[in-house]
Structure 1
């Protein structure tokens, strides 16, 4: 049996059908530290045959009683699972930070505490939900409206918040009575094995949760699998569009949480020290590898120079280093390929007129690891590449505006609409500005994703919602039974 308290170890089996099973091939995924660039462990890579087994196990669980389980039974399973995940919090957060460079303090907050809270939130919803509702009809009879699980769910999870983003799918899916096949990113796989250990310990019924780690081709195979009833995906907009096309061919429900290029609107009455303190999370969380990050900073012309000075001091003052060091505020980005992508955007920003006021290179003294300096560009036109494309790294573009209406116009001049913030000493004014921004979520004087409120995007930022009771509804299908009058 594996030591489930140790985050970095070799694994040799896949969790399918409620048991650890030998993989169908000898292919392996090397786990590489974002800090040292060294291989620290390896795990089996799932094949199409393993996906077939996982989907079959999920279907057997669905048909074998999970779909017809009571809300109280589902709640009990979720609560036991939450307890088992919480018991592995240290190993999970160390694994995530080692793999993708997330500062350990953030990993503790989101990849253990927030993820556990998310599971327990859906356990509470599961226990409270009414699966049938009798409605009187204006035509003189009653209808019985039934909420049923949609079926087998394919959950495709990215590498940036691998545990939380897996649980945004697993939590509501299990609460609804669905079984799930999770395909984690090959960039963050150790945490998924620890989560599978937790599922086994918690007694999650066989086949209700299955993990098949692999790359894009495996994900495409899972998405197109005839045994899947719904796809839940978090990742890039390009991949999301391809998945949407595949699901459209099959009239298969799909939820897509995709990219973003969110704006932080700094109003002319904002307290700048509070703004820069809040932007530490809103803009630079997880080294900028956050889909809802506010990477366009809209500053009023009347306070533009003052805002630039504050942002320069803020960015250059951040502590960059080993993500396992509790003093670190910005760690490395997740991979060598991703660093090259981020550096390519920085180069285009300087070539096309952006003025670097902070960063732009690799930090001194960190010769190993995929580090990028916290970077701030001034005098950016909103049509520039660095203002329009999702960089997914610690890079901000500061854009001047004239008045509130101009700020809203610039914020909306984007193909994305996922997050955003408005900063002001007058919350009512900020809220009014927030109402004008075309986005799925937006914060006033801060940005914290609420478990009880729907999260998702508009435009190229996706379809559907996660979090809140709205996510639970996304894993249910409705049946109406028309009852004769008098029955």
Structure 2
């Protein structure tokens, strides 16, 4: 089966691109081209925004009753569920996520989002009336914002596309999606499903492209809101453009999450949890628990056990179901992670496992050796900067108050965990950590609850009723009293 494509999905139809430019999708495992697809241009973005603008300003979608939009999204959900295996394989092919993780999260989690948002939309207060303090009632309406620019990253492409697209559609918005150039293939499957589900013409466009195309979309005067997931540096640029134009934006950005291990934590449970949460998706996850905080008394023994656990993980072909850690998405990402590993050694951190160089048994692909540093000072760059690879830092703390201080000593605030035998004590520690999400003896993104970050980890929230509300404007209608 060829993955090559020769058209763009603009306004709900397959359209010849404006230029002959091509994106080559390269396997991170084999370093060979696995597909060629059109590279979107500014002209293609203009056409997509124009279609979205017409569909919003003149078309039926924003004017449907909420239950009518829910019916279309429900049809999409059924189509998506039927293609989960295909979606998982495509994502692993294009960006190298281990197939075990793709089957666990890359494909099923987006479908779970659809189902969760459908339930939320059915109960959402689209229009309600409350008594006013001046005598007359007030009608409060949630109305669609307008045209949405949805920009996902390459690491969890469908997960981050649907966290924007589904609430936008349910709210009555129209959407232009710009996938990352490394991972455009999964969105072709999505486009086919949108078309089959009966999403009206103009409501959704998908145009893959690079940074310049993305900036053209963000700054386009026809766009009412930008929803972005990606690096904090890119988020700052997008926020600046949106601020200048007074354009709405939601930004889900980077993280450097802390896992606080209290002295009473069960060693086996904690190691199993951190083995997954620390290097999930080969470490290419914004919520990865990459700073492991352990008391000084337990530091050496715990760090050695963690290093043994990480060293025992299977690295290799992402299509092998036994693989736990796959390649980095691109050569530049491999080089970036290698530089941080060298930097950690230069900074004086203790290298327990991993280090620079290809993992044993591999002679091609953009792999790095899963790495654990111990005796890390939280002021080191490996503890402060997002590496986005399988690199963990074990940091000693003096007492629980010191652990909280270290956890909060970061420009980020996206996720975190607390590991303890005392759930109540764990929840008390969790309340003190300035982060948008945190788990006690676990970590997950529950789609019924808001997800997002404090500080440089972003602006706004996804998931839950709060995530749906991000795609609406509030209107107050003052109702006159009936005549006497």
TM range, smaller chain: over 0.9
Counterpart position of 2:29: 35
Unaligned 5+ runs, structure 2: none
Cross-structure match for 1:455: 451
Counterpart residue number, 1:383: 379
C-alpha displacement of 1:147? 1.0
* Equivalent-residue separation in structure 1 for 2:352 and 2:125 (angstroms): 56
CA offsets, 1:447-487, max 9 Å, x none? Answer: 11100000000110000000111011110001111112237
1:433 maps to which of 429, 432, 436: 429
| Aligned with residue 80 of structure 1, among 55, 62, 75 | 75
**TM superposition shift of 1:129:** 2.8
Q: CA RMSD in A?
A: 1.0
2:370 to 367, 370, 374: 374
CA distance in 1, matches of 2:79, 2:51: 22
The answer to whether the aligner puts 1:70 opposite 2:65 as a matched pair is yes
Q: Are 2:359 and 1:363 equivalent residues in the alignment?
A: yes
Contact 1:74 1:127 in 2 (8 A): no
| Residue 167 (structure 2) pairs with residue 172 (structure 1) | yes
What does residue range 133-144 of structure 1 map to in structure 2 within 5 Å? 133-144=128-139
Q: For residue 150 of structure 2, what is the aligned residue in structure 1?
A: 155
Structure 1 residue 264, shift from structure 2 partner: 0.5
Is the counterpart of residue 305 in structure 1 residue 290 in structure 2? no
After TM superposition, list the pairs within 5 Å mapping 1:309-324 onto structure 2: 309-324=304-319
Match of 1:407 among 403, 417, 432: 403
**CA distance in 2: counterparts of 1:392 and 1:309, whole angstroms:** 22
Structure 2 counterparts to residues 236-315 of structure 1, below 5 A: 236-315=231-310
Distance 1:281 1:233 in 2: 26
Deviation at 1:221, TM superposition (A): 0.2
1:229 — aligned with what? Answer: 224
* Counterpart selection for 1:19 from 3, 8, 13: 13
For structure 1, list consecutive stretches of 5 or more residues without a partner in the other structure. Answer: 1-5
Q: By how many angstroms is 1:204 displaced?
A: 1.2
Deviations for 1:116-161, whole angstroms, at most 9, x for unmatched residues? 1111222222233342111101221111111100000000110000
1:197 counterpart = 2:197:
no
- 1:89 aligns with one of 84, 94, 97: 84
Contact 1:34 1:101 (8 Å CA) reproduced: yes
Q: Give CA-to-partner distance per residue, 1:74-97, whole Å, 9 cap, x none.
A: 111111112222222222111111
Q: Is the Cα–Cα contact under 8 Å of residues 117 and 463 in structure 2 kept in the other structure?
A: no
CA distance in 2, matches of 1:276, 1:217: 42
Secondary structure, aligned partner of 1:153: strand
State the match for 1:3 in structure 2.
none
Q: Distance in 2 between matches of 1:96 and 1:378?
A: 33
| 8 Å Cα contact 2:120/2:464 also seen in 1 | no
Partners of 2:404 and 2:63 lie apart in 1 by 48
Matched, 1:207 2:183: no
Task: Report the CA distance between 1:18 and its aligned residue.
Answer: 1.3
* Residue of 411, 416, 428 corresponding to 2:412: 416
Whether the 8 Å CA contact 2:34–2:94 is kept in 1: the answer is no
Match of 1:445 among 441, 444, 447: 441
Q: 1:110 aligned to 2:98?
A: no
- Which digits, 9 at most, give the CA deviation of each residue in 1:48-100, with x for residues without a partner? 11101111111122121111111111111111112222222222111111222
TM-score for the superposition, normalised by structure 2: 0.98
Tell me the TM-score normalised to structure 1 length.
Answer: 0.97
| Structure 1 residue 281, shift from structure 2 partner | 2.5
Q: Is the 8 A contact 2:436 2:454 kept in 1?
A: yes
Give per-residue Cα distances to partners, 1:400-421, cap 9 Å, x unaligned.
0011000000000000000000
